[in-house]
Amino acid sequence: MTLVPDKLRVFNGSQFILPQINQNNSSHLILVTESKATSASWLLQHYIKAGLSSSPHVSDSNDHRKIVLVSFLQDQHFHFNCLRKYGIDLTAKKSSFSFVDGISNFFSDGDNKANGLTTLYLRASRSSSWSEQLTNVLRDLSTDESKPLLIIEGIDVLIPLQVLSASDILNFIFDLYKSSSTIVVSMRHSPDLQNTFTQIGAQHGNLLSSLQRQSHAVISLRPLITGAAEDVTGLIRIVRGGAAVQTPQFDVTVDEFHYFVGEGNLSGVKIFEKGRGH
């Protein structure tokens, strides 16, 4: 079975993994929610793989879709090693891809200049300048014809770290709209946390509900309600976000699928219809 069958769609006329929704040079939001048992890292990596593979016979050219990955969960080595196993060498994609590190030395006041394959290091003490810093990174990859795809991994960890509030995070994301074509944001769906009646739980719930309302599509990764299975990792549910109502030209296909992540993360991912093995 292919990794993602052609019939799996999020937007009408576009592939499930990489929705081509930047026709009007304006930004659109996709929310990806995960759980402790169903990490979304493989899905985000497939967005990257699909974008950077748009011209498979060219190692580094303007034909590739430009991508910026901001991670508050993993450093460069995690994603770079996973993508290398899938045939993507990010060292050969420097004009098409930028990595922004939101985890290494996050609470230090050291230099935030580029190092190796990382374009920028975010510092908690400089959160007020993140929008400006990331806008510059996005503009460096922009052309007259297109703007980069922006992926933000684990944005919700900023709440328990007390770096940004839910409203601050929303402002931060929307500040980047004008400089990107599509924004993919991942965060944890944690009912236990949201039901604790704590300030952190309330902030987390507010962020989740606000992003659901503002997004065009919500892709949820959940464990099976029946418990773990040897041949099924979890459930993918695709639903329309609140913004899809206001933009009917982006027809989100509502559906559910099972998926399996085997050894090697990317190389072992399979998606299949519910009730049918892989």
Domains of the chain: total: 1
Residue of higher predicted confidence among 95 and 266? 95
22: in domain: no
Alpha helices in the chain (DSSP H): 41-52, 76-85, 130-141, 166-175, 191-194, 199-214
Residue of higher predicted confidence among 20 and 234? 234
220: in domain: yes
18: in domain: no
161: in domain: yes
What pLDDT score does 230 carry? 81
CB-facing half-sphere around the CA of 275: CA atoms within 13 A: 1
**Contact 90/81 with Cβ under 8 angstroms?**
no
Instruction: Report whether pLDDT(18) > 70.
Output: no
What mean pLDDT, rounded, does the chain reach?
A: 80
Range of the domain at 151: 28-273
Q: Which two tokens stand for residue 135?
A: 């806008």
What pLDDT score does 10 carry? 42
Query: Could you please report the per-residue DSSP string of 86-140?
Result: TT--GGG-TTTEEEEESSTTTT--S--S-BTTEEEE--GGGGGGHHHHHHHHHHH
In which band, very low, low, confident or very high, does the pLDDT at 171 lie, cut at 50, 70 and 90? very high
2: in domain: no
12: in domain: no
| CATH number where 45 lies | 3.40.50.300
What pLDDT score does 162 carry? 93
Q: What is the pLDDT of residues 55-80, one digit of tens each?
A: 443 334 445 678 999 999 999 889 99
What pLDDT score does 165 carry? 95
63: in domain: yes
Q: What is the pLDDT of residues 86-116, one digit of tens each?
A: 788 888 888 899 999 999 889 987 666 666 7
Q: What is the pLDDT of residues 134-159, one digit of tens each?
A: 999 999 998 877 889 999 999 999 99
119: in domain: yes
**Nearest 5°: CA angle at 177, between 205 and 11?**
80
Closest CA to 233 of 191, 263, 189: 263
